Amino acid sequence: MEKIFGNFIDGKINEEGDKIKMISPSDGSTAGYCMETGRDATDYAVNSSLNALDKISKINLKERQKLLLKLADIIESKSEIYSNYESLNTGKTIRQSSFMDIPLGIEHIRYFGTVQDFRESREIEHPEYPGTRGIIQYVPMGTVAAIAPWNVPFLMAIWKVIPALLAGNSVVLKPSHYTPLTALELARDIKNAGFPDGSVNVISGKGKTTGNYLIENEKINMISFTGSTYTGKLVMEKAAKNLKKITLELGGKSPNIVFDDADIDRSVKGVLFGIYLNSGQLCESGSRLILSNKIRDKFMERMKYYLSNMVAGNPMDFNTDISAITNNDQLKKINNLMESGINEGATVYYSRDLKNKVPENGFYYPPTLLMDVKPDMKIFNEEIFGPVLSVTTFDTDNEAVEIANNTKYGLAAGIWTGDLNRAYRVASNILAGTVWINDYHLLSAAAPRGGFKMSGIGRELGLEGIYEFTQTRHLFYGNPDSGLSDAAYQLLIKE
């Protein structure tokens, strides 16, 4: 019997409503069914989270952190279950889920469970009014709608839910209908850790239905969205009707700049990791290689060598290196963009042969190196979200920066050089929220994550990511003995 993965609302599994078939991208098999959550069930989830706020407010900050640490221990004890769910849903290799995504998420929970720098209030002085006192409170937003994409569902759930809980909010999380399994498991374990029922409700469904129901609900005070820039604009437009606070983590077309003094072997590995991890299906994937002409031939040959040695197979096999594409619609988009690139004059330097090496009915695209990519090409400008590296060359530092910034996006970038002064100078001129220097894709829970330009608004992770889930309130304590108030009042009031 095929398994139904119901919503998790008010501490209970809820299977009311229509079902959506989930396809395992690894081999095309049916992974089970999740819910297509209707408006009534969405409203039920929102009301449940709204009712939980009073209970959450009675749990102080230190106690909330203790619950988060307990949650981390629970997930760690079930890490194999989480890893299998993550790879089953997404098609990413089981090795990535087991050794990167799930352990990283656990460590991020522990960061929020131990961070000491977040304060729920601070005192200020009023320089205009000596003797008075002010307190700035960081008040929870209330009930937050978190809408997550399909590419890294576990980490996205952690990044949205955990800092929101820490700040004292409740959350209704809508994972992608393609990949809801780890989010549903997380909600159950949040309950098991001791958070009140309704603190985190998880409802699956499509963006055009369930997502819109959440955004339109007037009881939602904030929306945290991760997805495409196109959809982010629609979310922003809909949220504006009720003046909801929003954070948007959107698309990217991130550059990796490799200078001629870089460590060739290390930078080759870093560039390959930057684009082919999760088959390029990461918002900050380094999909543009901006390569010094002086080392072009040597660098490209080295990349081809390592790429040809990547193991193709079923992603659920621990020996496999190459992830599947999570859904067929995305596979079609990759094919269309590649076709446009070839038609506009780009050339395929190397494409990994996957024939007879991957499951027949799975969704796969061969890791590809695309040369002669020019800034006016569609494939240079549009986010491909797939395992295709577009290569452009440069001669001077200024030219490299100009090419890197020649995009509407600004999520991330990488710089590879043996000269750290050059690295700092160049990095400081890159218009992106994260710039890695001689590394790529390494994420710290202590560092804010987000984009410039069309890559988003607001930040996730770090102290900045916690404070996004708060609003400020100023308490002004007057000083009757100072005489300042009496002087001000006399502008209107005479004895």
Instruction: Residue 325: name the closest of 279, 264, 377 by CA.
Output: 279
Of 34, 185, 283, 383, the catalytic one is 283
| Residue 34 bears catalytic tag | no
What pairs with residue 470 in β-bridges? 140
Of 185, 249, 382, 468, the catalytic one is 249
| Residue 283 bears catalytic tag | yes
| Integer Cα distance of 37 and 40 in angstroms | 8
> Catalytic amino acids?
249, 283
